[in-house]
Structure 1
Amino acid sequence: MARTKKKFSDLPPLAQTAVVVAGTIEIALFAAAQIDIYRRSPEQIRGRKGLWVGLCFVNTLGPLSYFSFGRKKLQD
């Protein structure tokens, strides 16, 4: 019982849209996290910058964890 892979074009239009939207969000989060890490000084980041750069490559979870836990709160 061999299963054939579905092509993107075989998916229903709603599923195609969902894949494109999810991919766009993931790429945007990744880019935003990388830019934020690059622009912040090491004192404003919890842990090593290199660690967060690497963790941001882990799907959507990496950038979300950086934005949730990796940045120190700015003090007024």
Structure 2
Amino acid sequence: MTDRNQKHDRPLFRVTFSRIVGQDQRGNDILGRPKEIGAVWPRKKGKTGGILSLDIIPVELTQRQGVIFVLPVGGDDDAGAQ
């Protein structure tokens, strides 16, 4: 396998979702623990952008009761994602 092919064996980004579990004294949202719900994969043949693949679609997402995070794979936050 060439280096170029190995690069595409992994997603570009992890997609996580955190539910809003409450509000602090200032009215800011308090987020729960992030849960990995999918990934962004590179497109083939050098096309720009990525393909979002969701394994789970949280009900809270449709009700705007949470936040989606997109984290680079292999980044500093990669080890902490669940």
Q: TM-score if structure 1 supplies the norm length?
A: 0.31
Q: Which has the higher helix share?
A: 1
Structure showing greater relative contact order (alpha-carbon pairs closer than 8 Å, 6 or more residues apart):
2
Q: Which has the higher strand share?
A: 2
Q: TM-score if structure 2 supplies the norm length?
A: 0.30
Tell me which structure has the larger Cα radius of gyration. 1
